[in-house]
Amino acid sequence: MKKNLLMSAAVLSLALLGGCAQVGTVVKKLDYATGTEVTDQQLKSFTKGKTTQDQVVAALGYPATKAEVTGKEIWSYPYTLIAALPFAPNKQETTVFEWSAKGVLLNFYKAGGSAGGSANPLLNAAGI
């Protein structure tokens, strides 16, 4: 009798824990994301002075914006994540690549948001 009760408790506990794991998966699907997320692992694969534009395009795709500033070509990859759950952290960042005239990587870094406005498409759509 005790064995059956313990076995039932163990099965019920596993079912509840499995359900919690599924909730995380469902909530992640409800998150709103736009842009190109550039992970720290991807950034570590690039080397200043060696990485070419073709290599970055192969890894990340074409940038959302390109600009020329003081002889450098600037590529920007904005990314916004709006979490489905209240009080869950949102993410808003732009990964920037600076290129020489010959197409060699000079510098790369992450910046918060995007220049000239919000990178949050929901705020932009609302006109805020």
Domain boundaries, given as residue ranges, for the chain: 1-30, 31-114
Fold of 31-114: Beta-lactamase Inhibitory Protein; Chain:B, domain 1 (3.30.1450)
Give, as one character, the DSSP assignment of residue 83.
-
* Distance between CA atoms of residues 37 and 17, nearest Å: 30
pLDDT string in tens for the chain (128-residue length) = 566 655 555 555 545 555 554 445 555 678 888 899 999 999 999 999 999 999 999 999 999 999 999 989 999 999 988 888 888 888 889 999 999 998 899 999 999 855 555 556 666 665 54
Q: How many CB atoms lie within 10 A of CB 35?
A: 20
Task: Let me know how long the chain is.
Answer: 128
The reported pTM is 0.68
Pairing of strands 91-99, 72-82: antiparallel
Instruction: Name all contacts of 18-24 with Cβ < 8 Å and 24+ positions apart.
Output: none
